[in-house]
Amino acid sequence: MERNEEELPVATSTSPRNRSYNSGQPSYSASPGKIRNQTIALGDVDRRKDSPPGELSAAGQSNLSLLLQKTPSPPKETSHKTTTADGAQDSIPPTINVVSNDSPNSEYFDPRNESRPLLETFPHNYGNWLPSDDPLSMEDRSFVEKVYDWLPCTGDNRYERRRPSFRCTPENIFRQVILNPISYIPAVILGLLLNLLDAISYGILHVPINVPALGVSLNEDNVDTNRELVAHGISNIASGLCGSVQNYLVYTNSVLFIKSGGDSRVAGLMLAAGTAVILFVGPWIVGYIPVMVVGALIFHLGLDLLKEALVDTWGIVNRMEYFTIVAIVVAMGSLGFIEGIFLGIIMACIFFVVSNSRKSAIRATFSGSSISSTVRRRYRQQKFLKYVGNQIYAIKLQGYLFFGTISGVEKEIRRILTYSEWRRNPIRFLILDFNLVSGLDFSAAEAFFRIQRLLQVKKVYLVFCGASYNSEVGKALRAIGLWRDEPHNSDNSLLIYENFNESLEHCENMLLQAYYESVSSLITNQDANPNPNTKRPSKPTSVLMDAFQDMTDMKDEYLDKFFSRIAPYFHEEDVPAGATLWSQGDKPDCLYLVESGLLRATWRATEGDPSRPVETILPGTMAGEIGFFTERKRDATLVAESHCILWKMKKSDFDDLLEKDPDAA
């Protein structure tokens, strides 16, 4: 059935409360004006100004008789024509839903029963449809009755057909008018917080992004981002105290202002003064500026910046970076500034992982045969270490180790442990140098745990160096339990040293220890059964022979005669631990032959810098011979690490030898 869309005029009363169909009952007012398809109070239907208060007009009584017709089904959408006293016909809105006194579930209500309100529907926009049987306190009920006294109760039959009828009682009014708006407070606060987060994001991001970009556009190299951040913070605090808006550096406006000649402090002060004039005079003065001129300037500047971002960078940056630039430009133009920034950050992180995964974390690899520690050893020891040096394998790592780069390190270690490579060159020590590593994540630390288990199967020692206990690498290794509080594991499967030289020295010492243990029984048997006919050389001669006999093919008797000629020019010295033999920069006036003890040479770059050990001198070697013969100043400081017995040759002694026995010299 087609609805009657005729408009029903509704008369309003000039009194504080609208007229009711029965005096003494709460009034129900309808909105003034014309209402289409809405449920209204029957007391206001077709009421004329000349009708006495508390009475219904003839049309109202006719409408009332229509409502009292009870039928088993809800009323259908029909329109009714009524005739007023003056003979005019008005239409009644169709489908008026009310609640009956007889049954709470009925859709009809007898308006003559004064114990219930005429219409018990409520607008849908006041909140949820709640039951009305919840008890309220006396204070709440008193307050609600005051609200109930003036609150208009109207209904919309469109919502009545969809939902159960809302009972317009004081309890429900309290919940709809007071409690439901309170339930919206979290959503309102959340919206405000999101706006505040946007403002904070703008304030934090625009300075480190716009200031360097502005410096590049203006060819300004002395840009201090930290200073600009502090200045923006102070200005925002002052602006907030004055009730003004947030400070924001607009990149495009700044470029336009500076390119227009405003590149001085005076120009900035003039701009501030002009802004203040507009603030106090009013914005009407802006209307005298041609919009075409301002628009053309901004349009020209936008094209220039777009050319700088998309055209000038073509061929300069790689493809991934250029794709990031294009994506940021599109996102900022279509979505917004913050969205473009976040998209750029996400893409930069992805491209960082991809690009760094292509770089090798291994800077270099060495074997013990190609490198050696700074320890000055006897010739035979050096020869032995040269022979077995391939059992030491060193890997220098670099960069930040994460899941994208640690796979290359693990792959290299697995390669040297393969069967074919192991048969060709077995190793006993694996040194990992972290000196150039800035940090590592959890996945990289877990990879080193797997590497240690692989090496334990092959009985290979894992040696870490170049990482301190409290460094980022040390913290990551301690977090997974690989680096414990003690310097070495109980089974010595993991060894940790401060620098690469110390780790290499330790590996060499362990190889020499194994060598001496293998020949110790032979040496012991020879010493236990000495030949009585063997002539023992004098003390300095034996020390000289022990140091140099492996360097020549001469027989022992000839070596004994040779070193006996120069032995008288050496003088024995007993040096306590901690004594300084010479300092860096001293003139060379002697050399030493070490019989026992340990010497250590240290070096410093400049005065005041900490000393670094550069060489360790063991028994059976000489110290200071290079500077002694070349007459070059000492390049290191020599200190006795322990109690030493040394044989010293002075410059005067060598001059005597050169004069008396030039061939031996």
Beta bridge pairs of residue 155: 39
> Total domain count for the chain?
4
| 338 assigned to some structural domain | no
Mean pLDDT, rounded, for 187-198: 79
- Mark whether 505 and 568 lie in a shared domain: no
- Mark whether 509 and 627 lie in a shared domain: no
- Mark whether 550 and 492 lie in a shared domain: no
Instruction: Give the mean pLDDT of the chain.
Output: 72
- Mark whether 566 and 443 lie in a shared domain: no
- Mark whether 107 and 38 lie in a shared domain: yes
Beta-strand relationship, 8-10 and 590-596: unpaired
Residue 618: its pLDDT value, please?
84
Query: Please, are residues 19 and 25 in contact by the beta-carbon 8 Å criterion?
Result: no
Residue 566: its pLDDT value, please?
82
Q: Pick from 185, 211, 226: which residue ends a domain? A: 185
- Mark whether 396 and 477 lie in a shared domain: yes
| 3 assigned to some structural domain | no
- Mark whether 141 and 207 lie in a shared domain: no
Containing domain of residue 576, as a range?
Answer: 539-660
Task: For 105-146, write each residue's pLDDT tens digit.
Answer: 444 344 444 444 433 443 433 333 334 444 444 444 454 454
> CA torsion, points 584, 590, 591, 595, in degrees to nearest 10?
-110
Task: For 513-561, write each residue's pLDDT tens digit.
Answer: 887 776 654 544 444 444 545 455 566 777 777 777 666 666 666 677 7
Any alpha helices (H) in 261-372, and if so which ranges? 265-281, 291-306, 319-334, 337-358
| 334 assigned to some structural domain | no
Rg of the chain, C-alpha, whole Å: 49
- pLDDT above 90 as % of the chain: 5
Say which CATH number the domain at 589 has: 2.60.120.10
Residue 606: its pLDDT value, please?
78
Q: Pick from 185, 214, 231: which residue ends a domain? A: 185
- Mark whether 477 and 365 lie in a shared domain: yes
| 606 assigned to some structural domain | yes
As given in the structure block, the two tokens for residue 535 are: 């002539």
Any alpha helices (H) in 363-405, and if so which ranges? 379-388
Mean pLDDT, rounded, for 412-425: 90
Query: Please, are residues 466 and 401 in contact by the beta-carbon 8 Å criterion?
Result: no
Distance CA(56)–CA(66), nearest Å, equals: 14
Mean pLDDT, rounded, for 215-240: 82
Q: Pick from 167, 185, 203: which residue ends a domain? A: 185
- Mark whether 36 and 22 lie in a shared domain: yes
Region at 315 (left for phi over 0; alpha for psi -120 to 50; beta for the rest) = left
- Mark whether 278 and 395 lie in a shared domain: no
Residue 292: its pLDDT value, please?
86
- Mark whether 194 and 181 lie in a shared domain: no
Closest CA to 97 of 46, 153, 161: 161
| 333 assigned to some structural domain | no
| 347 assigned to some structural domain | no
- Mark whether 25 and 162 lie in a shared domain: yes
